[in-house]
Structure 1
Amino acid sequence: MYAARGGHTGVMTQLLTAGAGVDDQSETGITALYEAAKHGRLEALDLLIAHGAKLDLGSNTKHTPLHVSIGEGHLDVAERLIEAGASTSVQDAMGVSIWHEAAGVGTSALTLLRKHGVPLHDDHVDVVLARHPFHYAAVEGHAEFCAALLDAKMVDVNLQDIDGCTAVYYAAANGHVEVLRVLLEAGADPNIMSIRRSPLHCAVMWKREECVRMLIAHGALVDAKDKDGKTPQDIAHDNCAIAALLQDIKIRGE
């Protein structure tokens, strides 16, 4: 496995010739193929595939070589695995799919998956927070990824996770202005509440002033109440600029 990690194909060949098992696993279930995929060792990967390595043999958490190659951004390795027959529908023990991994990387990974016809559905969610890859992309700030999914009609712009959070919520909470712009211009509802609060509450709470302005410009309700009965203005007391903005809107509204 160390040889595969370092891409030392000569050493790997000697070990395989001497009887090393191509699918031997570590205590955590890691194989040589997984190590090659994780570290972007394409020649080592090819050698292992040629020796019959199991493409979908994952770790103890069911995280496969294809998962890790995409997650680490080694898309040449990922493509080789797909072309060799690796399953594109795998999910690890947490329900993470290769689309989730792609969402953390960006549009280059999305292009790869679309090239190979890997489907994406609204029920492709992890098992912990029921987050879709669309949510992951919003959290990571990948505006082009979000836009591509929406343009291809691969996702509902208002899709919610188990806590009721939308992509707008995550973009606002993390201050990803470009993602927020993409979502709102695609018709996202800025007033969908999570089980706790609205996207505007989040933007105010985390002092995302530009996001606050954008949400309000697209119809976010400044008098919406969170689970504790507080409005965005109630929680803006320690940010003068945002508090003044909300107060001005309230006055003009009255």
Structure 2
Amino acid sequence: DRGCTPSHLATAHGHSYTLQTILRSGVDANPSDKSGWRCVHYAAFHGRLGCLQLLVKWGAHLSEVDQNGNIPAHLAAMEGHLNCFKFLVCQGVSVTHVLGARNDQGETPKDLAQRFYKDNIVQDIMAMQYEQNHPDNQENVAFPAHVSAFKGDLKTLRHLVESGVINVNERDDGGSTPTHKAAGQGHLECLQWLIEMGADHNIKNDAGETAKDVAKRFSQLAAVKLLGGGLDDNSDEELNKDDPSFFDQHGVEGSTDSQGDVNLNASQKREARMRAYQKIEQFEHLLEVAKSNYKQLGGLLEEDQLRQKEENERDRMIQELQAQLEYERIRREKLECQLDDSRAEISHLNQCLEKLKVSDGSVEDNFQEPVKEKKK
């Protein structure tokens, strides 16, 4: 009744793997329901950070507004989903554009956060606004190692740590360590070196984030894996769903906004992944059945249209190449005929030349005989 598509539902429930399967089938990443909500609105409203990152990767627009003029940042602020809100600000056109966006009631994300008592969002917005108003403080000279880690300047960072100027776990005004800075920017060389030097990547900043949380927020998946998240890259063994250890492997978890609300041990997480995977298989089977029924009723799927378009384009190219090949064949035959004519003419001219040489030799002999008789 709300006009939701499967991608809307997958996003709302945080099924990032199902959403990825849907997007890979060629579905638009920006469908709208009857309220004007796109998938990014659902992800922001329900705090589905993993789905939000996936949608951005597939080209979703973060500036889309619903019928009330809300962009996704409004909804994330209203519901208090801090990590989603930070991600939306980072991926937006600019910090000023996102924080200053107003809906049809003239409310900014900060106004909504204050109205619904989302203090974490309000404090974060105030910190962002302070950084905007005091740009000189963003690169504090009192924390040169943090600046070096943020810029990926490993040479300077190494010199500062090895010379004892700073401690590898030194905190800045926001409680962040150099590891936080390197992880957030995805500077893997700096991050790897800091870990080797004994940096504690479990330290939390004033926002309660570890270095891995910061890497997740900025979609630095390589940094997340380096800090202990994601799949085990050292294993070459391919596992299937029949192996229980298949469900022990996981990537970046979809939402980090409610970590304190749900505490699951490793066994519970594995069982939850198994149930989720079974749901994925059921939905994929239902999707295939629905597609088959649609085709039997004479419907033409978008993927079939794309395939037909590709086949038509391929046939057109084949026809053009065949025509070009036929043209080249005829041209070659003409050139071969010209070559045969030229060879025949060369042979004829050579014969004429030989005859001229023979006739010239006989004339010269006849001329020399009278001369010899006179001398006698």
Provide the TM-score with structure 1 as the length reference: 0.47
Structure with the greater alpha carbon radius of gyration: 2
